[in-house]
A and B are shown apart, each in its own frame.
Chain A
Amino acid sequence: MITALLRRLGQTVFVLFGISALVFMVFFATPGADPTARIAGRNASPQTMEKVRKEYGFDRPLPVQYATMMKKLFITQDLASYVDRGELVVPEIARAAPVTVSLVCGAAVIWVVVSIAMGTVAAALKGTWIDRSLMMLGLVGISMPVFWLGQVTNLVTQSRYHDTWLFSWVPGLGYVPLTENPWGWFKALVIPWVVLAVMFIGIYSRVLRADLVALSGEDFMRTARAKGLSPTRVLLRHGLRTSLVTFVSLFGLDFAQLVGGGALLTEVVFGLPGVGRLTYQALTNLDLPLIMATVMYSAVFVVLANAVVDSVYLLLDPRVRDAR
């Protein structure tokens, strides 16, 4: 098992290298485009161009350029945005990451708990009206776009009903750091959490229910019932525990892409200064260093999260443990 984990780690490092090289090539080695001009921004003076060319080594061979870029990203961390008046990019991401992580982790807790509850209850009561209405709710959740739902909740909690007892506690849009004011952090994030979680609750509960229903026809579920176990125990200890293998692999992918900046819409709608919003700004300003940095950040997160998921997978499924 230790060797399996180590091997997974080795693969992760290799994949990260591949992604960094690829991202670098896309931005800085595309034929016919001068990266100097793009980094320096529109209407840059010749002096600035010259400075950028020197700083990034664009007058030297590609491998050197790659090494320079990686050094500026990971070691000296002085990659600066020229569009944004020399703002250092890496600290900017470091400031944005906790916001995104707070948002996504909270939402993840909600969607995992609620979807497991919904999926399990629906599977246990398969064919009843409770099952049907839960799955209908899930479908509604999937169908609502997150930006629309976010705007509507904002409308309701921030303006329309803000003065009623129900929503008077809701703070204005924005983020409160956890370390400064935990209660404020919670109040600022609880609505974005729920809004972000809604779609995933829909997807996950439906997937889990389908998985549990399919599993209920399996031989081992029949064995479990023949052992004289209670239906609850059969469903939870045998069915749900086996379904978790699928659930976790799905969760890993979604969680990683959200932490990597996929919660962009939610962050923009709720004014949360997270990585998604940073990417959005970088794209609208064509801020190449910042785009490069956010893409790398997102890639690192997706790959790391996948490595974590695979490790959890090793814990969850003994069959995988032996096969690797």
Chain B
Amino acid sequence: MHADTMPSPALPLLDVRNLCVSFPSGGRLIPIVENVSFTLAEQEILGLVGESGSGKSVTAMALMGLIDSPGVVITGSALFRGQELVGLPQKQLRRLRGRQIAMIFQDPMTAFTPVYTIGWQIDEQIRAHEKLSRKQARARTVQLLGEMGVPDPARTADRYPHQLSGGLRQRAMIAMALSCNPALLIADEPTTALDVTVQAQILDLIRNLRTSHGSSVLLITHDMGVVAETCDATLVLYSGRVAETGPTADVFARPGHPYTTALLASIPPLYGARPDRLPAIAGAPPAPLHRPAGCAFGPRCQFVHTPCLAAPPPALFAVGPSQAAACVLPAEGTPLPPRLTEGAVVTAPVSSQPPAQFSSPEAQS
């Protein structure tokens, strides 16, 4: 809040407090994102996880000031290096966009303008923010493409988007995002449209950005595996609200929210016998209009009981040194058991005996 007076090392790069985004629909405001708060330190990678429609992308778009549907209401605060992004005039936002905060998108197939070469589009971004000649910009473009592992960068720069493979296009997209050395890179499902080997390469690339370019990354994904591999911290969104937040290792070892637990249980186990069917979360997330009064996950949660249904949704409760979950269980003194050692806990009754669901007699062969 009083960030401008603080010394800069203590200042997180991005400090989001109670961000709410509401879209008008049928004469009412429908909250799509509600009270999302998080901080992102310099050179940190934060994973924003959630199902489709949980508000991940809307959060990112709100930070970038890219939501321009009429009547949208954005409240709360997002301090980027002490500068308030919410309500910042478009003109100033534009100076930040692409230069300080860059974004890469899910589908590299459609994210480039089809009628210009890749190089032209990267040059354009460089020249929009820095006074460089065409030649200098192109030199930087070629160098960036090379750094991103694009083979024969000078020739690739002269190719049109449709002439490149998905992986190459995503590399070019990242090169474009990094062209002005942004402090923050928002990656909106950067690997979803790519096949698995290319996915791993792109994730490697993103992981290395903090050392090679000193960038922080806000990684939006629905893939828990990607989060585990890549992110320092994790923020789990459910139906537009924060379900759980904390360091990735802690969240994965001791999830504090039943939703996180269920998400983790739906990953196929690497060791031990293969389950016939992966556990799934029954039901579907509520539409923003029909969100229940209490915990939004309540209707699908197996631990649901009366306090969950009461009007204000549960507040974040600290379950670890820097981990918090929006669940009443830890507050009631019955936290979920730690994961990993016992395997999945999906069908376990509240914190009682370790379930033996997937542990067949002899685990490893």
Whether A220 lies near B114 (C-beta < 8 A) is: yes
Central interface residue in B97, B111, B115, B160, by most chain A CB within 10 Å: B115
B residues less than 8 Å from A237 (CB atoms): 124
Taken together as a complex, chains A and B put the C-alpha atoms of A275 and B102 apart, in Å, by: 58
Known: A242-B115, A318-B114. 18 other contacts (CB 8 A): A127-B70, A218-B110, A220-B112, A220-B113, A223-B105, A223-B112, A225-B66, A227-B124, A227-B128, A228-B96, A228-B97, A229-B98, A231-B90, A233-B128, A242-B113, A242-B114, A245-B115, A317-B114
Task: Report yes or no: A316 in contact with B115, Cβ–Cβ below 8 A.
Answer: yes
Structural contact, A319 and B114, CB atoms closer than 8 A: yes
Question: A162 an interface residue at 8 Å Cβ cutoff?
Answer: no
Known: A226-B66, A241-B115. A219 touches B97 (CB 8 A): no
* Smallest CB gap from A229: residue in B: B128
Asked if A228 and B125 sit within 8 Å, CB to CB, the answer is yes
Whether a CB of chain B sits under 8 angstroms from the CB of A180 is: no
> With A219-B105, A241-B115 as given contacts, are A225 and B160 in contact (CB-CB < 8 Å)?
no
- Determine if B81 is an interface residue (Cβ-Cβ < 8 Å): no
Q: Which chain B residues border A231 with CB–CB below 8 Å? A: 90
**Minimum CB distance partner of B180 in chain A:** A228
A271 to B115, CA, bound (A): 44
Asked if B66 contacts A228 (CB within 8 A), the reply is: no
- Give the residues in chain B near A95, CB-CB below 8 Å: none
Of A226, A229, A318, the residue contacting B103 (CB under 8 A) is A226
Whether the Cβ atoms of B94 and A318 lie closer than 8 Å is no
Residues from chain A with a CB closer than 8 A to the CB of B305 are none
Contacts of B111 in A (CB 8 A): 219-220, 222-223
Contact B97 A225 (CB under 8 A): yes
B residues near A, CB below 8 A? 64, 66, 70, 90, 94-99, 102-103, 105, 107, 110-116, 124-125, 128-129, 160, 162-163, 173, 176
Q: Is the CB of A228 within 8 A of B95?
A: yes
> What are the interface flags for A287-324 relative to B under an 8 Å C-beta threshold, 1 for contact and 0 otherwise?
00000000000000000000000000000111100100
Chain B nearest CB: distance from A321 CB in Å?
A: 8
Residues of B within 8 A of A317 (CB): 114-115
Interface centre among B113, B129, B162, B173, by most chain A C-beta atoms within 10 angstroms, is B113
Q: Mark A157-172, 1 if CB is under 8 A from B, else 0.
A: 0000000000000000
Chain B residue numbers with a CB within 8 Å of A225 are 66, 97
Contacts of A224 on B, CB cut-off 8 Å? 113
- Assess whether A318 is in contact with B162, with CB atoms less than 8 Å apart: yes
In the complex, A179 has a CB within 8 A of chain B: no
- Residue pair A318, B98 in contact (C-beta under 8 Å): no
